Structure 1
Amino acid sequence: MPLAYLPFAYLHQTQIMPSPSIDVYIAHGWGLNNVIGYVNSSFNNNQLQVLKQSGIKQIYINPDNDLGGKNGTIKMIYDLLNNKMQPFVFCLDDQYKDLNDLFVKLGGEEAKKVFQEQFNSSINGIDWLTNYLINLDKNNRVKEFLNIISKLTYQEHKTIIATKLLK
């Protein structure tokens, strides 16, 4: 298993399924024990069921800065929205692939400070999806928009995204 490849979600108020990824170990070393990993950008149904049973409503996602991280975040956002949970996303600067890369480049305390700053600037998952779509070229934007809204269960989420795109 490639250790630095795994993105993770920061979850408030409960400990959910720690994964054996270097990113999760770093977060746990900082005292952030409410972190899970999801392997190969796939947030799976077992993890979703545990979250639903725990009663957690707000999930903070920190994707890797690569295509797998983006694709995994898109899937995780609509899985969470479809299950009446509220996703938030915070991304590291593009110069860092993931938390491990941040840790290696900055060292423990400085990396923790940057991580916390990014966490504090989390945005709503729907806003993240909208920003993602806006940054695509026009042809891909329409195709990806149709793909995303086809996977959302609730009309209100589809309407919010469509309205934001039309502004």
Structure 2
Amino acid sequence: MAGIELIWLLPVAVYDFYQRRVPNWLVLVGAALAMTVLFLGRSPMGIGWSDALGGAALGFGFLLLFYIAGLMGAGDVKFAGALGLWVGWQGLFPIWIVASLLTGAHAIAWIVLQRWPWFPRIALALSGKASSSKDAGTAKQRRRVIPYAAYLAIASALWIVLWGRQS
């Protein structure tokens, strides 16, 4: 059943890379699939309901702090909650470490390419698309440069593949 989760992670990564957002319907599909797999007793990570619900609470709750601080988008937070249903609270820590390293590399590359524009198209791709005109007028709207949910999805796929080989 790990294939279902990997298939769900792909559009999450694509949406976040190209639009810097994760649609609610995609988060809900992932959460519903995770609960269905748990109900059937076929979790790819071999976790039970308590680990899955703990993972959802930890994923959502921890990243909610970053959202409140204005450092992260709401889609990242909701995605982390749905992801916790799949991997449990134990899987979130290594996934967060790898995703954070990937976002750090993204940020460094973006800063370097902003300062020394050797490859302007890469710098533009790393910065994401500009805010739409309807969002440009709101003072609270912030430009999202780093697609954290995409890096969470990539780290999760690596975790699933590597963890699945060990079990």
Q: Which protein is bigger by CA-based radius of gyration?
A: 2
TM-score between both structures, scaled by the size of structure 1: 0.25
Q: Which has the higher contact order (CA 8 A, sep 6+)?
A: 2
Whichever structure has more helix as a proportion of its residues is 2
